[in-house]
Amino acid sequence: MKTNMSYENIIIRNENSVAIINLDRPKSLNALNSELIDELDRAFDELAVDPEVRVVVITGEKNFAAGADITNMVELSPDEARSFAFTPTFNKIANFPKPVIAAIEGFALGGGMELALCCDIRIAAPGAKMGFPEINLGIFPGAGGTQRLPRLIGASKAKKLIFTGSMVEGEAALELGLVDSLADNPLEEAVKLAGKLAGKAPIALKLAKECINSAGDVDLQTGTKIEAISWSGLFATVDQREGMRAFIEKRKAVFVGK
Ligand code: DAK
């Protein structure tokens, strides 16, 4: 296990090819301030090129994140609001070349839930409280929420959540499709899943993620062309040969990410 000491608002530890990022501003329920977002941005740049990391888990002890830090936003002008840098970092996480899993306990609200929406898979505690309360502050979700939420759960369900600002938890969140599974210990569950993914072929995972992400953006013809190019490209990888040979030789494949 390796601990990175160069961050003040997040804690990162690497365990068996899985990087676990803990959002760490407990006094404000992990409200996301600019410094934390800058650190996340830097962390994801570092993790992208770290060959020891194959999967990332984002979590927060007791709470995931109760939204962007409201004290940072009260007096912003429209220009300042536009340059308040959440969206580039969130897009970076959504397009991160390795799987990213959110393990959600406590509150995941506003920008916190938008961060969770950037992850590939969300696992929540049954009592986690999730929602988009921005409407109660005179704004609406602006860090990808109006775009990612309807793509994930459908337009009218997204409108209901965003218009009312109400929170959902447990089975209701699961039924909405806001989370993928519930677990009493979501971090443990997320790390277990991450461990499984860490054993898969990294380039195939990366390209599958790119193809699936593009499915929400392009028409079917274009999507299937993107898929065909990515898929055939895998036949230039060591891991494709290894995976298929291992099957034929009746042994477990060992993927090297090449
Ligand atoms: N910001 C700042 N401080 C927060 C906070 C937040 N979002 N959430 C909680 N805190 C602080 C509280 O002020 C309190 O601090 P002290 O009074 O102890 O100093 C401490 O955390 C504990 O909170 P409470 O005392 O309120 O705890 P409760 O259990 O009573 O209530 C709560 C928990 C989560 C229901 C409540 O704290 C709450 O309603 N929090 C605000 C939730 C919220 O409205 N979240 C949405 C924020 S707006 C973008 C950038 C950002 C965004 C979008 C676009 N661009 C650049 C495009 C995102 C916007 C948002 O997320």
For residue range 23-49, what is the model confidence (pLDDT) as tens digits?
Answer: 999 999 999 999 999 999 999 999 999
249 part of the active site: no
What tokens appear for 200 in the block? 């898969």
Give yes or no on whether 10-198 and 202-248 have one common fold. Answer: no
pLDDT digit string, tens, across residues 226-236: 999 999 999 99
pLDDT band with cut points at 50, 70 and 90 for residue 216 = confident
Distance 229 CA to ligand 1 centre (A): 44
Q: Which residues contact 205 (CB under 8 A, 6 or more apart)?
A: 98, 99, 197
User: For position 5, what pLDDT does the model report?
Assistant: 55
Instruction: Give the single-character DSSP code of 217.
Output: T
- Measured from CB, residues less than 6 Å from any atom of ligand 1 are 28-29, 31, 66-71, 84, 86-87, 107, 109-111, 133-134, 137, 142-143
Is residue 111 within 8 A of residue 170, CB to CB? The reply is no
Look over the chain and give the mean of its residue pLDDT values, rounded to a whole number.
96
Query: What's the mean pLDDT in 68-95?
Result: 92
134 part of the active site: yes
Q: Atom 13 of ligand 1 has which residue's CA nearest to it?
A: 28
Distance 200 CA to ligand 1 centre (A): 38
pLDDT at 251 over 60: yes
For domain 202-248, the CATH class is mainly alpha
What tokens appear for 17 in the block? 């090819």
How far apart are the C-alpha atoms of 128 and 229, rounded to whole Å?
A: 40
217 versus 84: which is more confidently predicted? Answer: 217
Q: Give the homologous superfamily in CATH for domain 10-198.
A: 2-enoyl-CoA Hydratase; Chain A, domain 1 (3.90.226.10)
Distance 29 CA to ligand 1 centre (A): 7
pLDDT band with cut points at 50, 70 and 90 for residue 1 = very low
Query: Domain-by-domain residue ranges, the chain?
Result: 10-198, 202-248
Is residue 89 within 8 A of residue 44, CB to CB? The reply is yes
Which has the closest alpha carbon to 63: 98, 105, 126, 16? 105
